[in-house]
Amino acid sequence: MEPSRRAYRRASEETRRADLIAATQALVAEGGPSAATVRAIAARAGVTAGLIRHYFQSKDELTRAAYRSLMDGMTAKGSAALEGVGASPEERLAAFVSASLRPPVLDLGAVVLWAGYMHKIRNDADLQAVHEASYTAYRDTLQGLIAALQRDVPEQRLRGDAIACNAVIDGLWLEGSILPHCFAPGEIVTLGLTSVGAILGVDLIAHSQMLPDPGKTLA
């Protein structure tokens, strides 16, 4: 019975940490980082303020955990789209780009939350480190998918291509989330695949048609 009790406690602590992170994210999205006070986080999560320090050493640590959860979660959704996709490098890259430019990644709430942290990054070295790690993880995943394409290019070119493609995806993610009414259904995904394909010299639109995503509309 002892092992079972330990497993239950771990699961409970993970759930509590997730609740505190979710509460922090909700408050930052609603009123910016200044709204996410210890008292407000505790009230939103339904716990005492003192309990927060059982899971996080400080509010800053909780803030960084909330930001990391946001960024890592969006990268994970793109990576999850690779499951069940065929072995074709073009098809896998198309799946990753498409997932990065449609819901739930394409989401106004996520952009508002992301923006809420931006002004803190320049004065918070630890938060900047979290941002750098998240950016690098996404870019490296993208670079790995690009490297699998049948192109004869040097390693440095791969890095530059990944940075350029990441910039295109980021820009479309921002505008597509904030101004969805300015784009036709499926247009953001189409623009992303077309633009990334143009940078790399591959036809991602053709390969995206083979993806198991009946809800996607492409021109």
Quick: pLDDT tens for 189-210: 999 999 999 999 999 999 886 5
State percent of the chain over pLDDT 90. 61
pLDDT value for 64: 92
Name the nearest CA neighbour of 40 among 69, 62, 55: 62
1.10.3720.10, 3.40.50.620, 1.10.10.60, 1.10.357.10: CATH of 59-219: 1.10.357.10
pLDDT tens per residue across span 73-108: 988 988 888 887 878 999 999 999 999 999 999 999
Name the nearest CA neighbour of 82 among 162, 141, 143: 141
- Please state the domain extents for the chain: 1-56, 59-219
Phi, psi of 102 (to 5 degrees): -145, 160
Measuring CA to CA, how many Å separate 98 from each of 104, 123, 204?
Answer: 11, 34, 10
Opening angle at CA 134, ends 112 and 184, nearest 5? 45
Instruction: Report whether pLDDT(216) > 50.
Output: no
* Cα–Cα distance, 135 to 153 (Å, whole number): 23
pLDDT tens per residue across span 95-146: 999 999 999 999 998 999 899 888 888 888 999 999 999 999 999 999 999 9
pLDDT tens per residue across span 142-169: 999 999 998 988 888 999 999 999 999 9
Architecture of domain 1-56: Orthogonal Bundle (1.10)
pLDDT value for 135: 95
* Cα–Cα distance, 82 to 77 (Å, whole number): 9
Average pLDDT over residues 163-178: 97
pLDDT value for 163: 97
pLDDT value for 215: 44
Place 13 in a pLDDT band, splitting at 50, 70 and 90: confident
Burial of 100 (0-12, 13-18, 19+ CB in 10 A): buried
* Cα–Cα distance, 146 to 93 (Å, whole number): 7
The answer for residues whose C-beta is within 8 angstroms of residue 196's C-beta and 6 or more apart is 93, 97, 165, 168, 169, 204
